[in-house]
Structure 1
Amino acid sequence: MPYRPSQQFKKTLIGTGVTCLLAGLNAPAAIGFAQERLHEYRISRPAYMARYGSWEIMDVPSQYQTNAIHAALLHTGKVLLIAGSGNKQEQFDAGTFSTILWDPADNTFQRIPTPEDLFCAGHAQLADGRLLVAGGTARYEVLDGDVTRAGGAMRVKNEDPDRPRTLPEGTRFRSPDGQEYRSTAPVLVPRAQKTEDEKTGEVTVTASEAQVFVEAEKGGPAYVTDQPAQYEIVGLKGKDADNLYGLAEQINLDKQDFQGIRDSFEFDPVAEKYVRVDPMLEARWYPTLVTLPDGRVLSVSGLDEVGEILQGDNEVYDPKTESWSVGPKRYFPTYPALFLIEDGKLFYSGSNAGYGPADQGRVPGIWDLSANTFREIEGIKDPDQLETSSSLLLPPAQDQEVMVLGGGGVGESEKSTARTAIVDLTEDNPAYRDGPALPEPTRYLNSVILPDDTVFTTGGSRDYRGRGDSDILAAQIYDPRTETFTEAAAPEVGRNYHSEALLLPDGRVATFGSDPLFADKEGTRLGVFEKRVEVYTPPYLHGDRAENRPVLGEGPRRLERGETATFRTPDASRVATAKLMRPSAVTHVTDVEQRSVALGVERGSGGVTLSVPDDRSLLPPGWYMLFVTDEEGTPSVATWVHLP
């Protein structure tokens, strides 16, 4: 029987023929159109998709489109997309905060009431499947030249040991020369600390302190001061006036940075709502949250309530008490990539999202939380370009290898690098070594672990926030076993700053967001936040492999470390590997949650018995996706299991 082209192919040929005719009539644009049609035809061929995979832009109704700043996969299979004010000053001023819950199984969406501006918060998976979200935005930045009212940090002192005091937003502070400044937020000042000498009985009162940002009552340089001074609080009298006062080092017209909040919430994936818990000890904007072996969560770095980077004041959340306590003190720039490794230590890959001095906290290393010591790791190429880099704990997590990919210079630097680097943390003297280079220098690269133990990398841009029309419409798959990249199908949507990617339970990868600085190469038009959702289907879900995926059947929903669990499957003889994959919580190309842990596999008649490692540093408590794969790496659909 002769080959007959499909209707789609006929239309493509007709379109190409027409545009070729137009090209002959001196219509250069038609050539581009013809090439585009040819490309569309090529990437839609089954053979192409079986080799490179494919992309699909999802249909997102306009009322559910959002500026996805954060993305987290919940154990219900749904994806939480948090925008908060979405990097939009007008949304912040209006108190309009957004969260969208997306169900990729049927591509449905719903809006979730969002209680505070969780823009640029931190998040981590909790043991019971809730998502901890902490920090966010108290105030947007005001750039140099735009500051009209002098402002700065006011340290509020309380010498009263008997009661704390809450000063409302708008509290006035008066300088010795009569200038007045108003607080931009409420501030709680704890009671003073009173101690008594056991021998002499002498009582000592030590004043407590809290910070708040203040602005001048009026604009102009008359309110600028660089002299330290004590400020009275207007309206207080008698002992209150003596006990409560402000101290400021300087108040000026310099750039005013973003400011953080202390608010914390647990998102309940079953009730599908935020539940307020105790606030953090410190306000934080751009913090990293990382789950510890005992299920507690460490919160690190961030800008505080006056827009200053925290100097190592970290803290720990206990889900049992829903409260925070002081953690080990160590400084990092904002959104540091901290990975839980053996013995409960954390590895700082060097990746970060930037705020902080260029010469502090940028060196990778192993952080021993119990001793609060830090062992620096050397060997990385382009160490000045770790900001906006991607990093991950390579699969399987038992190998304790971390990879860093791409990155750029500090701040709005034009620098970017194609460097990748790998460190084996099991070595006596671990040091980074060069990995294979990316196809081109890339910032904001998203990297996602796949169930076949490869890593899918996509998007990014060459310049800061895609400046100069530098978005990279390319994707690669990295194989840790051969340490090589292979080409993957190219996405249609560019992704740079404020973009995310994560693995779905069906084995696909979803990508969200992107916040370009400009909408044209010349930088004459402001950029528009990318609201489209694009999903990548890897080669293992195309062709015969897609039709013959292993099926994982009945088995326990709860697994125990150090023990075995048996799951029914008609494909027992085909199962080659099994792994537990922790769901992502990603923002600013920082995803310290994702990890893939290999399980032992024993094949039986009609089922497989899986052995779970006995290591809480390898498998911190929480919900995991259980995948099995065949010899070709084709994965099953994930089964959700819980490790207490």
Structure 2
Amino acid sequence: MFTGGEWRILQRSIGISAMHMQLLHNNQVVMFDRTDFGPSNLSLPFGRCRIDSNDIALKHDCTAHSILYDIGTNIYRPLMVQTDTFCSSGAVLPDGTFIQIGGYNDGDRTIRTLSPCITNDCDWIEHHGYLNERRWYATNQRLPDGRIIIVGGRRQFNYEFYPKGSGDDNTYELNFLRETNDRQENNLYPFLHLLPDGNLFIFANTRAILFDYRRNQIVREFPRIPGGDPRNYPSSGSSVLLPIQFSVNPGRFIEAEVLICGGAPQGSAARALRGNFVLATPMCGRLRVTDSNPAWEMEQMPNRRVMGDMLILPTGDIIIINGARSGTAGWELGRHPVTIPVVYRPNEPSNQRFLLMRAGSTARMYHSSAIVIPDGRILIAGSNPHINYSFTNVRYPTELSLESFSPPYLAPEYDNLRPRITACPEIINYRQTMSITFSVPEYRSARQVSVRILAPSFTTHSLAMNQRMVILRVVEVRQVVMWTYEITAVGPPLAEVAPSGYYLMFLVHDGTPSSGTWVKLQ
């Protein structure tokens, strides 16, 4: 069943292939690729050039490999990045500063920062050699105390923290990563989620653990995901922590569920190198990690997919977008682009959760990315399945375009049900009661209204890091005047449920979301 949605090209070319993307709280998006595969199609301004004797492709480069895109104006400008950001990670600090972590070659121990600005003078600041270890294909997670934990990477079976100077500057071994590292290294970009009890869910290859990073201790090991198919890079499935809803009683146990979908079967990379492109798995695994005896619930997607991106929509549903039907991640190793997004509805009966969306026309293969933006659209860019920028004589040319996908909830027929936030606090506190005013032409009932906060993701390589949705407790909804209502809600109970920082607040009325409003949780 195809249920709609609308595709739109925003820019035919942004000059770079957006391998990595992060939404900032000033409604700008930072995008970047890598610095060492030749010149991009976007020049640096004012005659600036990057001089890098360590670069393996171009030691004198006057083109940009990063941009800052403004959603409201659909305008972008080049940024200057010095060291190689290839296959790196990122997170946003509580104050809104974007922290970019590691990469390849001369960038593998580098930390880069970008502070949001309303002028055109903000740019990358780089701190070379800051990291204890090389962080190439590492994953990170924001923690309740405001730090970032950085886990794994190629041949790195350990973790460390950012920032230093907080009394914890060391590197800590995590033998679980060594155990799950096969010859294809199917534990790169491990899936990492902060759970409401303060521990971490870590998934690598086919195994998952509950990990207490404060004590460097594995609390428990979960059952292996059924089927035996690895899900991490280069098999490149995707993972999401489903929306968290906390109880009326702040002391009551809070449930958490993880969803993992897609990926390439064991041995797919080696077989693709020989020209045999194995079909991706159509299977998803869902695990309620807070159960006393958790077991995977397996579900089949309508289509097979490797290198797909999973994002939490304002409604709390999950969209799966981008990727391929066969092959695996890596240079020239994917085949048969999947251009049909799928929406997964976690609260529906198990046989009614998947909906097929309208197909796009652009192949988004290896090194594509996607994020949710404040108006509820999905921003999609990238695809660079080749070592260099290759636009001709290749099966899937390097893709420089930027486009959006509007899910069906943005269709005009839902405008009468769409709430519009007219007033809400800019700062919200834990356990704080707050009032939000909204208008809606066709109000249904208080039972049809919910308040959600969404932490935007850093998306790269099929993994949306630090993505998180918390559904707030609603106390009451009352009418103020015609078409205008006031909803009283309560902020998250703990930083373990929602780490401090910037979130998009959405109201959802009868399945139709408002546009997001930025709030700062502290």
Q: What TM-score, normalized by structure 2, do the two folds share?
A: 0.80
| 2:514 partner letter | S
Partner of 1:424: 288
Partner of 2:52: none
Partner of 2:249: none
Map 1:407-422 to 2 at 5 A: 407-408=263-264, 409=266, 411-413=269-271, 414-415=277-278, 416-422=280-286
Give me the whole-angstrom Cα distance separating, in 1, the residues matched to 2:37 and 2:328: 16
Farther off after superposition, 420-429 or 487-496: 487-496
1:334, CA displacement in angstroms? Answer: 2.1
| 1:401 partner letter | E
Partner of 1:545: helix, strand, or coil? helix
Pair 1:556-2:508 in alignment: no
Partner of 2:145: 294
Partner of 2:377: 508
Give me the whole-angstrom Cα distance separating, in 2, the residues matched to 1:123 and 1:103: 19
| Percent of residue pairs bearing the same amino acid type | 28
Partner of 1:137: 104
Partner of 1:400: 256
Pair 1:385-2:248 in alignment: no
Partner of 2:429: helix, strand, or coil? coil
| 1:54 partner letter | E
Partner of 2:194: 340
| 2:282 partner letter | A
Farther off after superposition, 565-574 or 65-74: 565-574
Farther off after superposition, 542-551 or 407-416: 407-416
Q: Please, which of 486, 489, 500 is the counterpart of residue 610 of structure 1?
A: 489
1:604, CA displacement in angstroms? Answer: 2.6
The C-alpha deviation readout for 1:75-133, integer Å capped at 9, x for no partner, is 11111101132655875544555111111222111111213222222111111111111
Partner of 2:409: helix, strand, or coil? helix
1:381, CA displacement in angstroms? Answer: 2.1
Q: Name the count of aligned residue pairs.
A: 452
| 1:532 partner letter | S
1:568, CA displacement in angstroms? Answer: 2.2
Partner of 2:414: helix, strand, or coil? helix
Whether contact under 8 Å (1:518, 1:524) holds in the other structure is no
1:534, CA displacement in angstroms? Answer: 2.0
Give me the whole-angstrom Cα distance separating, in 2, the residues matched to 1:518 and 1:114: 19
Give me the whole-angstrom Cα distance separating, in 1, the residues matched to 2:334 and 2:29: 32
Partner of 1:311: 157
Give me the whole-angstrom Cα distance separating, in 1, the residues matched to 2:110 and 2:161: 14
Whether contact under 8 Å (1:264, 1:276) holds in the other structure is yes
Partner of 1:80: 30
Give me the whole-angstrom Cα distance separating, in 1, the residues matched to 2:131 and 2:500: 22
Partner of 1:102: 69
Pair 1:266-2:117 in alignment: no
1:514, CA displacement in angstroms? Answer: 1.4
Partner of 2:424: helix, strand, or coil? coil
Pair 1:486-2:355 in alignment: yes
1:370, CA displacement in angstroms? Answer: 2.3
Give me the whole-angstrom Cα distance separating, in 1, the residues matched to 2:335 and 2:193: 33
1:439, CA displacement in angstroms? Answer: 2.2
The C-alpha deviation readout for 1:348-407, integer Å capped at 9, x for no partner, is 1336xxxxxxxxxx5212112123222221151233331301110012365411001010
Give the direction of change, closer, same or farther, for the CA distance of 1:524–1:586 in structure 2 (3 Å limit): same
Partner of 1:455: 318
Partner of 1:59: 11
Partner of 1:30: none
| 1:625 partner letter | L
Whether contact under 8 Å (2:241, 2:468) holds in the other structure is yes
What stretches of structure 1 of length at least 5 have no aligned partner?
1-47, 140-259, 304-308, 352-361
Give me the whole-angstrom Cα distance separating, in 1, the residues matched to 2:422 and 2:168: 40
| 1:53 partner letter | G
The C-alpha deviation readout for 1:152-174, integer Å capped at 9, x for no partner, is xxxxxxxxxxxxxxxxxxxxxxx
Partner of 1:442: helix, strand, or coil? coil
Greater RCO between the two (CA within 8 Å, min separation 6)? 2
Give the direction of change, closer, same or farther, for the CA distance of 1:418–1:627 in structure 2 (3 Å limit): same
Whether contact under 8 Å (1:119, 1:137) holds in the other structure is yes
Give me the whole-angstrom Cα distance separating, in 1, the residues matched to 2:115 and 2:334: 41
Give me the whole-angstrom Cα distance separating, in 2, the residues matched to 1:518 and 1:369: 36
| 2:241 partner letter | L
Whether contact under 8 Å (1:97, 1:117) holds in the other structure is no
Partner of 1:343: helix, strand, or coil? coil
Give the direction of change, closer, same or farther, for the CA distance of 1:92–1:478 in structure 2 (3 Å limit): farther
Whether contact under 8 Å (1:337, 1:591) holds in the other structure is no
1:623, CA displacement in angstroms? Answer: 0.2
Give me the whole-angstrom Cα distance separating, in 2, the residues matched to 1:112 and 1:91: 19
Whether contact under 8 Å (2:101, 2:111) holds in the other structure is yes
Whether contact under 8 Å (2:424, 2:435) holds in the other structure is yes
Partner of 1:627: 506
Q: What TM-score, normalized by structure 1, do the two folds share?
A: 0.66
Farther off after superposition, 584-593 or 392-401: 392-401
Whether contact under 8 Å (2:195, 2:497) holds in the other structure is yes
Farther off after superposition, 368-377 or 106-115: 368-377
Partner of 1:80: helix, strand, or coil? strand
Give me the whole-angstrom Cα distance separating, in 2, the residues matched to 1:123 and 1:389: 19
Pair 1:476-2:355 in alignment: no
Give me the whole-angstrom Cα distance separating, in 2, the residues matched to 1:616 and 1:277: 28
1:429, CA displacement in angstroms? Answer: 1.8
Give me the whole-angstrom Cα distance separating, in 2, the residues matched to 1:397 and 1:280: 35
Give me the whole-angstrom Cα distance separating, in 1, the residues matched to 2:462 and 2:225: 19
Partner of 1:580: helix, strand, or coil? strand
1:337, CA displacement in angstroms? Answer: 1.1
Give the direction of change, closer, same or farther, for the CA distance of 1:366–1:548 in structure 2 (3 Å limit): same
Computing the radius of gyration over CA atoms, which structure comes out larger, 1 or 2?
1
Give me the whole-angstrom Cα distance separating, in 2, the residues matched to 1:629 and 1:72: 24
Give me the whole-angstrom Cα distance separating, in 2, the residues matched to 1:588 and 1:84: 13
1:497, CA displacement in angstroms? Answer: 1.4
The C-alpha deviation readout for 1:305-353, integer Å capped at 9, x for no partner, is xxxx1232x210127x5997114321433211110002211101336xx
The C-alpha deviation readout for 1:175-206, integer Å capped at 9, x for no partner, is xxxxxxxxxxxxxxxxxxxxxxxxxxxxxxxx
| 1:430 partner letter | P
Q: Which has the higher helix share?
A: 1
1:441, CA displacement in angstroms? Answer: 2.4
Give the direction of change, closer, same or farther, for the CA distance of 1:389–1:112 in structure 2 (3 Å limit): same
Give me the whole-angstrom Cα distance separating, in 2, the residues matched to 1:349 and 1:539: 32
Give the direction of change, closer, same or farther, for the CA distance of 1:286–1:97 in structure 2 (3 Å limit): farther
Partner of 1:349: 203
Partner of 1:544: helix, strand, or coil? helix
Give me the whole-angstrom Cα distance separating, in 2, the residues matched to 1:584 and 1:365: 22
Q: Which has the higher strand share?
A: 2
Give me the whole-angstrom Cα distance separating, in 1, the residues matched to 2:163 and 2:224: 36
The C-alpha deviation readout for 1:221-272, integer Å capped at 9, x for no partner, is xxxxxxxxxxxxxxxxxxxxxxxxxxxxxxxxxxxxxxx6211122101263
Partner of 1:626: helix, strand, or coil? strand
Whether contact under 8 Å (2:245, 2:472) holds in the other structure is no
Partner of 1:569: helix, strand, or coil? strand
The C-alpha deviation readout for 1:530-569, integer Å capped at 9, x for no partner, is 1111211011111221355211122211110111111222
1:276, CA displacement in angstroms? Answer: 3.3
Partner of 2:411: 542
Partner of 2:125: 275
